[in-house]
Copies of this chain bind each other. A is one copy, B any other.
Amino acid sequence: MTDEVRRSLRADASDNRTRILAVARAAFAADGLDVSMREIARRAEVGVATVYRRFPTKEALLAEAFAEPLALCSAVVEEGLAAADPWQGFSLVIEQLMQVHAVDRGFSDRFRSAAAYLTADRDRTLRLLLQLVQRAQRAGALRADFVVEDVILALMANDGIRAESPAARAAASRRLAALMLQSFRADPVRAPLPPPVRLPLPRTGGTPATRGR
């Protein structure tokens, strides 16, 4: 085998894996978890042996199909818990989760599927998140009436942002995250906000952004 052929086979294998996972996610979401491995092979246009070579059991396929959003979320929360300063750790988590949700529009849906199917992983992530919240509250940095639902509220609020480009959406999300974090603090500060973004309420063409003074 030449190097080129080898590279091409590796690329094929990786393409197959990605395609099978994408097809499986769509199939499970549309038709439930009973869709067979054979049916997934058919929809992915690969042989059933190829599916089994990548995912020895259906459980393995299910876990991989839905694991990514929860794994990412867990990793972010663990990073926040590892931060020396509880408030820094908490802020990092809010900022990163809001940014991921803003940049990748499919993330919220995949996250909800993951949370619905992988209940053990979801509960572990929620426990970590609760630790993060309680740690910041014990340090007196996070307001005492903050609850884990407020993280969900912030992520939902983030989901509502519409903007004319992915970059504008990310920028608007950064400003929203900064605003939310300033309201979450126990001892309020007024740190400068990330710059505002022009948002798509239809406007007359020539008007400059309508700013306060």
Task: Tell whether, in the assembled complex, residue A153 and residue B188 are in contact, meaning their CB atoms are under 8 Å apart.
Answer: no
* Complexed CA–CA distance, A196 and B144 (Å): 13
A149 to chain B, nearest CB (A): 5
- Interface residues on chain A, size class: 35 or more
Q: Does A94 contact B (CB under 8 A)?
A: no
Binding stretch for chain B, among A13-21, A51-59, A78-86, A126-134: A126-134
Please give the count of copies of this chain that the complex contains.
2
- Chain B residues whose CB sits within 8 angstroms of the CB of A142 once the complex forms: 212
Q: For window 127-151 of chain A, which residues contact chain B by CB distance below 8 Å? A: 129-130, 133-134, 137-138, 142-150
Checking B112, B119, B160, B207 against A160 with a beta-carbon cut-off of 8 angstroms, the contacting residue is B160
Binds B, one of A26-34, A39-47, A171-179: A171-179
A103 at interface by CB-CB < 8 Å: no
Closest beta carbon of chain B to A143's beta carbon, Å: 6
Closest Cβ of chain B to A212, distance in Å, is 4
Quick one: CB contact mask for A161-193 with B, threshold 8 Å, 1 for yes?
110000000001001100110111010111011
Q: For the complex, give the distance between the alpha carbons of A150 and B194 in Å.
A: 12
Docked CA distance A207–B115 (Å): 14
Since A147-B211, A148-B209, A180-B180 are in contact, a sample of 18 more A-B pairs with Cβ atoms closer than 8 Å, ordered by chain A residue number, is: A115-B202, A116-B202, A129-B210, A142-B212, A145-B192, A147-B196, A148-B210, A153-B175, A156-B161, A157-B161, A159-B160, A160-B161, A179-B183, A180-B183, A182-B182, A186-B190, A188-B188, A188-B189
Question: Which residue numbers of A lie inside 8 Å of B, CB to CB?
Answer: 112, 115-116, 119, 122-123, 126, 129-130, 133-134, 137-138, 142-150, 152-153, 156-162, 172, 175-176, 179-180, 182-184, 186, 188-190, 192-193, 196-199, 201-202, 204, 207, 209-213
Task: In the A-B complex, list the 8 residue pairs whose CB atoms are closest, starting with the nearest.
Answer: A160-B160, A188-B188, A157-B157, A159-B160, A183-B183, A179-B183, A133-B212, A147-B211
Residue pairs across A and B with Cβ atoms less than 8 A apart, 7 shown, are A129-B210, A137-B213, A150-B179, A150-B196, A160-B161, A186-B190, A188-B190
